[in-house]
Amino acid sequence: DGGITQSPKYLFRKEGQNVTLSCEQNLNHDAMYWYRQDPGQGLRLIYYSQIVNDFQKGDIAEGYSVSREKKESFPLTVTSAQKNPTAFYLCASSSDPGQDYEQYFGPGTRLTVT
C-alpha cells in the first residue's frame, strides 16, 4: 500500500524546545511539502522540496527548518524561534510538481506547545 505517513499524530512540547515532525512517503514522489493549518484558516506553505538535497522556503518558513537527504523523507523541525508553534501540521507529496499538481497528504500531526 502506497502512502504518506506522519508521526506522531499528537505531540506535546514545552516552550523553548525544538521538535522534529516526521514525514515519510513510499509513492516514489519527487516533491514534498509542509503546511500548517490554524483554526479557521487555510493551509499555509512552510517549506517544499522538489528534489533530494534541495528545498525552498514557503510563505511562513521563519522558525522552521527542513532536510531532504532521502527521497522518501522530509522531516520538519519546529525551532524555539517559531513564535506560535501550536498548530496542525500537514505533509504532502506530488509526483511531478511541473505537470501533476495533485498532492497527496498525510494524516497530519497536531503539535501543542505550552
Partner 1 sequence: DQQVKQNSPSLSVQEGRISILNCDYTNSMFDYFLWYKKYPAEGPTFLISISSIKDKNEDGRFTVFLNKSAKHLSLHIVPSQPGDSAVYFCENAGNMLTFGGGTRLMVKP
Q: Is 40 in the site for partner 1 (CB under 8 A)?
A: yes
Among 11, 52, 58, 67, binds partner 1 (CB under 8 A): 58
Q: Is 27 in the site for partner 1 (CB under 8 A)?
A: no
Q: What letter would DSSP give residue 100? A: B
Backbone angles phi, psi at 13, to 5 degrees: -140, 155
Cβ of 105: how many Cβ atoms within 10 Å?
14
Q: Is 60 in the site for partner 1 (CB under 8 A)?
A: no
C-alpha cell at 109: 500531526
Match 506560535 to its residue by C-alpha cell: 84
Q: Give residues in contact with partner 1 (CB under 8 A).
A: 4, 6, 9, 33, 35, 40-45, 48, 58-59, 90-92, 101-108, 110
